[in-house]
């Protein structure tokens, strides 16, 4: 997450907060859950096509 923060010029804490907020919204807002699931599916398909190895799950427990 530190690298992700650097990529977007944000701190580690900002990345953690954003992920927790997304997960909370996923649980309470069906439309957000649908959109996040679609994005996760697209990212997984892109990894398969590129041959990239998956080191972690995209979802988090908030």
Give the start-to-end residue ranges of the domains of the chain: 2-50
Q: What value does the mean pLDDT take over residues 4-21?
A: 90
Q: pLDDT of 40-57, one tens digit each?
A: 999 999 988 888 765 555
Q: What value does the mean pLDDT take over residues 1-9?
A: 84
Q: pLDDT of 17-36, one tens digit each?
A: 999 999 999 999 999 999 99
Predicted TM-score (pTM) of the model is 0.64
Quickly tell me which residue has 């699931």 as its tokens. Answer: 37
| Residue 51, token pair as written in the block | 């041959």
DSSP 8-state class, residue 56:
S
């Amino acid at each position: 997450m530190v690298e992700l923060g650097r990529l977007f010029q944000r701190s580690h804490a900002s990345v953690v907060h954003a992920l927790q907020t997304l997960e909370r919204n996923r649980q309470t807002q069906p439309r957000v859950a649908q959109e996040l699931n679609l994005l996760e599916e697209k990212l997984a398909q892109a990894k398969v096509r590129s041959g990239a190895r998956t080191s972690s799950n995209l979802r988090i427990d908030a």
